[in-house]
Amino acid sequence: MDERTTAAVQRYLLELKGDTPSDQVVRELVGRAANRLHLLCSSLLVQQYPRLMRPPLNLQSEEMLSSVVERLLKAMRDFRPENTRQFFGMATRHMRWELNDLARRLDEQTRALELRDELVASPASNGSVLGPRAHRMLDAIDELPEEEREVFDLIRIQGMTHKEAAELLGVSTKTVQRRLNGGVLLLTEKLSDLRPAIPSPGA
């Protein structure tokens, strides 16, 4: 469906060189971000909340996702970026907000579902909640230092290659890789409590 990111971004960069982007280019950029957001949301839904898509909720993912994407389009509609970097910064911020919001809503739905399970099955237990993993992860990403977050956003959220991100930021791919690793290390630290400790060998 999409063109490969490389080609698309190359073209944007070319068209944008020097002067303010035309409406046409912004529309295409927004369209690309919307597609990417759609993919991330459906992945979140399927990976983390598969139960919500089955009975009794039969969550209609398309319905939910289209409203998420619609909001992104709305938020970006009147935005006139001065360069691609600014555009991606803004778009990614909105995309993370939307993901966060979706995760929160899904958590609520899951809780509702679990409440039902409890009522129906046996009332005495406090069944474990699927866990606010998605939520926690998004929060932790939010808290990354500026440089690490920007690289993370471009690679993970916008789905760019290292080369594209490097070009956009005007740094080397090695720097991109270094910031990316730094981000993952910080995330690992922040999220370490999400899992039970695994005994390390020799300990």
Partner 1 sequence: MSSQESVIQSLLRETLESSLSPEEACRECPEMLPELLSRLAEVKRVEIDLDAFFPAEHVRADFDAKGALSRADILPRIPGYESEATIGYGGMGVVYRARHLTLNRHVAIKMLLAGGYAGPQELSRFKLEAESVAALCHPNIVQVFDAGECEGHPYFTMELVEGGSLAQTLAGVPQPAKVSAERVATLARAVQFAHAAGIVHRDLKPSNILVAADGTLKIADFGLARRAADDDSRAPLTIPGLRMGTPSFMSPEQAMGTGNAYNPSVDIYALGAILYELLTGRPPFRGEDPTETLRQVIADEPVPPSRLNSKTPRDLETICLKCLQKDPQRRYPTAGDLADDIDRFLSGTPIRARPVSAFERSAKWMRRRPAATALIATLTIAAGAAIATGLWMQRVASTRRTEAAIREHGARDAIESALSLVRDLRGGQRWTEAHNIIDSATTRLGDAASPTLEARLAVVALDLQTAQELDRIRQNYPEPAPGGFDYISPAKAYQALFARIGIGGGVPTEVAARAVRDSAIREQLLVALDNAAFLALVVQLWSDEERYLTIARLADPDPWRDRFRDSKAWRDRESLLGLIRDARSSGLTVPPHQLAIIAVLLSGLGASAETIAILRDALYRYPSDFWINHELANALDHAGQPAEACQFHRAALAVRPDNYNVWNALGTELEAAQGPPEAIVAYRKARDLNPHLFDAWQNLIRCLSLSGRFEEARAELGRASSFFPDKASELGSSRLHWELARRFAARKDWRASADAYAQATQNSYAYDGEAWFEYTAMLLLAGDVEDYRRARERMLEQSNKGLQRPFLTVRAYTLMPGAVGDFSKPAEIAAEELQQSGSQHWSLTQQGAILCRTARAGDAVPLLERSIEADPKPASAILNWLWLAHAQHLLGHPVPARQWFDKAASWLDEQEAAMSTNGWVLPTHIHNWLEAQILRREVAAELGVAAPRGGAAPAP
Distance CA 27, CA 20 (A): 14
Distance CA 48, CA 38 (A): 15
Residue type present at position 67:
S
Distance CA 108, CA 100 (A): 12
Q: How far is the CB of 71 from partner 1 (least distance, A)?
A: 11
Nearer to partner 1, 83 or 161 (CB): 161
Nearer to partner 1, 16 or 36 (CB): 36
Q: Return the structure tokens found at 123.
A: 């009332």
Q: How far is the CB of 18 from partner 1 (least distance, A)?
A: 28
Q: How far is the CB of 170 from partner 1 (least distance, A)?
A: 20
Distance CA 198, CA 203 (A): 10
Nearer to partner 1, 29 or 40 (CB): 40
Q: What Rg do the C-alpha atoms of the chain give, in angstroms?
A: 20
Nearer to partner 1, 101 or 129 (CB): 129
At CA 29, angle to CA 62 and CA 179, rounded to 5? 95
Distance CA 176, CA 134 (A): 24
Nearer to partner 1, 82 or 115 (CB): 115
Q: How far is the CB of 75 from partner 1 (least distance, A)?
A: 12
Q: How far is the CB of 197 from partner 1 (least distance, A)?
A: 10
Handedness of CA 188, 193, 196, 200 (dihedral sign): positive
Q: How far is the CB of 163 from partner 1 (least distance, A)?
A: 14
Binding site for partner 1 (CB under 8 A): 1-2, 4-5, 36, 39-40, 42-44, 46-48, 50-51, 53-61, 63, 112-123, 125, 127-130, 133-134, 137, 156-157, 159, 174, 177-178, 181-182, 184-185, 187-188, 191-192, 195, 198-203
Listed as own residue / partner, the contacts of 167-171 with beta carbons closer than 8 Å and 24 or more positions apart are 167/9, 167/13, 168/9, 168/13, 168/84, 168/85, 168/88, 169/85
Nearer to partner 1, 86 or 112 (CB): 112
